[in-house]
């Protein structure tokens, strides 16, 4: 067999073909190995970039987090609840417009957003010392931009819950709300991430009456103005009243907690 001027025997040609085939197979194996290594590093790089983007987004969301909390209407921290919850006779919504409440208890609060992101669905409710809700949600504002404030003024309505047959179920008088109020809870959401948050302002002044049982002396040592607590998520407290499971007028979503089966009013 003559190949390129050389007389090659069949056995030599077969040998050369085998060598060429083996070299090709080795080249393919080496190429596959480096391709696999490159794919592995590419996958890790993609995961790293994904984690980096996720971390950057999380930091961005945190950087734009709103921080809403209630204060007095002059911007001072709440020292005594009777400055913001009590029997105000007149509420001023506008400079030349007064609303007469006839002496019924009223709420007189200012809500501030000290964060760097807008807050939406800003609302609040009041808890007693056992961290049970004693009011439903009061809607403050649909949105509060960073650095802005919103004044809230309203009478405290009588809590009157009825079952699906219209029969009185439970209730709470405005005076009882004033007497039992111990925490003001402000709930809000981030306009960018949709994350929910809540802040808590506690009654801070020494109250001997609440420590009269001798078991709660710590209440006498509370600071005059406790620090505002900021926490992620919604307030986990439950209301003091039972919620009918099929009460269209007071859906569980309005109270921000899952509905529970109703056993019906106590006979």
Does pLDDT of 10 surpass 80?
A: no
Q: For 68, left (φ over 0), alpha (ψ -120 to 50), or beta?
A: beta
Which residue spans within 95-182 are E strands per DSSP?
97-100, 106-113, 119-127, 138-144, 149-155, 159-162, 168-172
pLDDT band at 216 (very low <50, low <70, confident <90, very high): low
Indicate the domain borders of the chain: 2-61, 66-255
What is the rounded average pLDDT of the residues 151-157?
87
Q: What is the pTM of this model?
A: 0.65
Residue 206: the pLDDT is 53
Does pLDDT of 118 surpass 60?
A: yes
Structure tokens at 240: 């003091």
Placement of tokens 């040998």 in the chain = 15
Q: Which of 27-36, 156-165, 219-228 holds the top average pLDDT?
A: 27-36
Nearest to 112 by CA among 73, 152, 68: 68
Q: Rounded mean pLDDT of the chain?
A: 76
pLDDT band at 119 (very low <50, low <70, confident <90, very high): very high
Q: How far is CA 249 from CA 41, 74, 121, 173, 252, in A?
A: 58, 35, 20, 19, 10
- C-beta atoms surrounding 209 within 10 Å: 7
Phi–psi pair at 28, nearest 5 degrees: -65, -40
Contacts of 103 (CB under 8 A, 6+ apart): 87, 89
Residue 223: the pLDDT is 65
Q: Higher-confidence residue: 255 or 212?
A: 212
Residue 208: the pLDDT is 56
CA distance 238 to 231: 17
Residue 26: the pLDDT is 81
Does pLDDT of 231 surpass 90?
A: yes
pLDDT band at 61 (very low <50, low <70, confident <90, very high): low
Residue 245: the pLDDT is 53
Q: Higher-confidence residue: 214 or 23?
A: 23
Contacts of 126 (CB under 8 A, 6+ apart): 85, 133, 134, 135, 177, 181, 183, 184, 185
Q: Higher-confidence residue: 46 or 194?
A: 194
Cα Rg, the chain, nearest whole Å = 34
pLDDT band at 74 (very low <50, low <70, confident <90, very high): confident
Q: Higher-confidence residue: 215 or 86?
A: 86
């Amino acid at each position: 067999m003559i190949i390129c001027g050389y007389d090659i025997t069949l056995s030599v040609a077969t040998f050369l073909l085998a060598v060429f085939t083996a070299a090709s197979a080795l080249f393919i194996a080496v190429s596959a190995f480096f391709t696999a290594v490159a794919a592995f590093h590419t996958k890790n790089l993609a995961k790293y970039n994904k984690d980096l983007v996720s971390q950057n987004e999380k930091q961005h969301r945190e950087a734009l987090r709103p921080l809403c909390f209630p204060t007095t209407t002059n911007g001072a921290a709440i020292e005594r609840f009777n400055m913001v919850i009590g029997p105000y006779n007149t509420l001023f919504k506008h400079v030349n417009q007064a609303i007469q409440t006839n002496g019924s208890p009223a709420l007189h609060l200012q809500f501030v957003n000290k964060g760097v992101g807008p807050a939406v669905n800003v609302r609040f409710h009041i808890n007693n010392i056992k961290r049970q809700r004693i009011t439903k949600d009061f809607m403050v504002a649909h949105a509060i931009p960073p650095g802005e404030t919103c004044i809230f003024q309203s009478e405290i309505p009588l809590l009157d819950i009825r079952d699906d047959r219209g029969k009185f179920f439970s209730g709470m008088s405005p005076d009882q709300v004033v007497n039992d109020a111990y925490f003001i809870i402000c709930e809000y959401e981030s306009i960018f991430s949709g994350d929910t948050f809540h802040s808590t302002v506690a009654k801070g002044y020494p109250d001997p009456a609440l420590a009269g049982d001798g078991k709660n002396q710590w209440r006498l040592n509370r600071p005059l103005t406790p620090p505002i607590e900021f926490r992620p998520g919604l307030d986990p407290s439950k209301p003091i009243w039972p919620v009918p499971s099929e009460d269209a007028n007071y859906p569980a979503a309005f109270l921000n907690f899952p509905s529970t089966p109703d056993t019906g009013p106590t006979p």
